[in-house]
Amino acid sequence: MSVVVRAEGVTKRWGTTVALDEATFEIGPGITGMLGPNGAGKTTMLGLVLGLYRPDGGAITVLDRDPWTAGPEVRARIGWAPEHEALPPDVPAFDAVRHLAEVHGLPNTEAAGRASDALWVVGLGEERFRAVGTMSTGQRQRVKLAQAIAHDPALVLLDEPTNGLDPVQREEMLGLIRHVGHDFGLNVVLSSHLLEEVERTCDSVVILDEGRTVAEGGIAELRAAGSTRAELIVEVDGGDDAVAAVVAQLDGLTVDVDGRRLVVELTSDDTYDLVRDAIAESGVALRRLQRRTRSLEDVYLAARA
Amino acid sequence: MTEARIHDAGYRRYDGVRLGPAQAVRSLTKHTAQRVMGLRRPARYKTLPFLVVLIAYLPAAVFVGLAAFLPHQLRGQLPKLSDYYGFVTAAIVLFVAFVAPESLCPDRRYRTLSLYLASPLDRTTYLRAKAQAIAGILALVTLGPPLLMLVGLSLQNAGPKHPSDLAIVVLRIAASGLMLSIFYTAISMAIASLTDRRAFAAAFTLIIVAGTVSVAGTLVYALGASKGLVVLNLNRVPFEMSQRIFGTHDADLASVPNAVIVLGMIGWFAIGCGVTWWRYRRLQVNR
């Protein structure tokens, strides 16, 4: 399946508020970030993907079906972990995950086995018979992930899965999402307002802003598409004299000076050698030599501009 | 030679059968019933439901025991099956006030409803599963005890003499018990749909039932209105309906036609279903 979710001119209003304004994008296999500030329309879009609402305009297909008209069939193949707490605190994690796997259509014995497997995958194998309410925030987020993957969905929707987690738990959760997406081959949509999280975890991204799609595609392609030229960042020890000494040796190259930092146009692989030789000739200490990459933040800011 | 790799053994893809919404309804019905009865939960959650069920069965056990010891000529003094609910009305109403709130409120309070509606369930099938669970549990106290009494009496030759009479009594018990459980399911689901808090829902249920008793009593007995207005009494009209299923009636309500009782029941039932549906139609679950 080359397209998992396709939205064409999707509009959704809540009263007078336009949550989605002719949003158009495609989500393919792998891990896709749905990025945007709060109020961008991400959660509304996830609700449309689940077939919970009918779009006011446009069309959306999920796993080649219309989720509004074929809701139960589509939702049987989707795993959903909402941003908020959603599991009763007095129920053991295993019971909750098994029950939700049954609700997604798995036979009872299969659901029990897979619930256990899913809880082991998220690192809660030993804790699986503990009540959800006795678990830490990080563990509860893992239980939510477990219930989203236990029935082997074709698409996993995760809404702000690192909310409320400390840095270590956050790192572990992102690792789990990469594991689920890349090693198990599940298609994942990760809704987040955190650029860095999406950049490190996802293969592609859809950027929403005020209900509109402002950018979409593979993260590598989006970064490359915005670059007008390849550049090297060079930072040296010392003051203006040291910088001037290096610049003097870089004759024939296009160089911009920004404080102690030089930005050198990368015209070919020979540029690396020329920069190395220039620094050696000038006798200054090198602090940093790095190819400049356009971050997702650059893409995001440019798209919203 | 191809490279051999061992992947994570903890997760397998699944290409077996998927049973669809019917399995979802079955699972939710079972899960709800287990939750209400405190099964797979700590002992404190089992106390109230099992105590109420025990109270509902106690008169049946006592009457069967009495039938065993009483001489044949005195067995006629035992209460009739049609009168059974008069001994357990309070237990039934208490159970009604407990079951629906326990079934519905936690799903909204803990927002588990958003997970259910992200599954093959939709609002209709979700409510159907909940209604099945609630009606099934209520049938434990509306259907089970008179059936137990009938079986006990029949085993001591104190029940209906002919198989055809026995069949009719069984049908009447079934109709009466199911009618009560379905009626109170509709009413209690409507009340439980109005709040996320179990305790409030339980209290509202008891207050509303008591309120209808007061209103109907005031209208009929203090203000002298038509006795037909007894249909406003949620604690009386279903049990009067039960009496009429058994072919008898409360002496005080002899003048009220069956049709009025039936229409009253249908009206309450429609209100219960309508309120529940209206509430769940309006719920936004994942915004």
Rounded Cα–Cα distance for residues A141 and A122 (Å)? 10
Please report the pLDDT score of residue B144 as a whole number: 95
Q: Which CATH fold topology does A228-293 show?
A: Alpha-Beta Plaits (3.30.70)
User: CA-CA-CA-CA torsion for A264, A269, A271, A276, nearest 10 degrees?
Assistant: 110
Q: Is B246 among the domain residues?
A: no
On whether any CB of chain A is under 8 Å from the CB of B45, the answer is yes
Please report the pLDDT score of residue B8 as a whole number: 52
Q: Is B133 among the domain residues?
A: yes
Q: Is B157 among the domain residues?
A: yes
User: CA-CA-CA-CA torsion for A169, A174, A175, A176, nearest 10 degrees?
Assistant: 90
Neighbours of B70 (CB within 10 A): 16
B28, B107, B110, B128, best to mutate vs chain A, most A CBs in 10 Å: B110
CA distances in angstroms from A13 to A35, A206, A210, B104, B282, listed in the order given? 20, 20, 12, 29, 16
A69: nearest CA in chain B? Answer: B122
CB contact under 8 A, B27 and A102: yes
Give phi and psi for B257, each to the nearest 5.
-65, 155
B149 burial (CB, 10 Å; 0-12 / 13-18 / 19+) is: buried
Q: Is B281 among the domain residues?
A: no
A&B contacts, CB < 8 Å: 131
Rounded Cα–Cα distance for residues B172 and B176 (Å)? 6
pLDDT range class, residue B210, cuts 50, 70, 90: very high
Picking from B12, B42, B112, the nearest residue to A86 by CB comes out as B112
Q: Which residue has the higher pLDDT, B66 or B269?
A: B269
All structural domains of chain A with their residue ranges: 5-225, 228-293
Please report the pLDDT score of residue A193 as a whole number: 86
Q: Which CATH fold topology does A5-225 show?
A: Rossmann fold (3.40.50)
Chain B 131-170, residues with CB within 8 Å of chain A CB atoms: none
Predicted confidence pLDDT, tens digits, chain A (305 residues)? 689 999 999 999 999 999 999 999 999 999 999 998 888 899 999 999 999 999 999 999 999 999 999 999 999 999 999 999 999 999 999 999 999 999 999 999 999 999 999 999 999 999 999 999 999 999 999 999 999 999 999 999 999 999 889 999 999 999 999 999 999 989 999 999 888 888 889 999 999 999 999 989 988 887 776 666 678 888 888 888 888 888 888 888 888 887 778 888 888 888 888 888 888 888 888 888 887 766 677 777 777 66
The domain total for chain B is: 1
Range of the domain at B89: 20-209
CB contact under 8 A, A82 and B121: no
Q: Is B275 among the domain residues?
A: no
Please report which helix (H) or strand (E) contains residue A235, including its range. strand A231-236
Q: Residue B84 has which token pair?
A: 């059974």
Chain B 91-120, residues with CB within 8 Å of chain A CB atoms: 106-107, 110-112, 114-120
Q: Is B104 among the domain residues?
A: yes
A103, A109, A114, A163, best to mutate vs chain B, most B CBs in 10 Å: A103
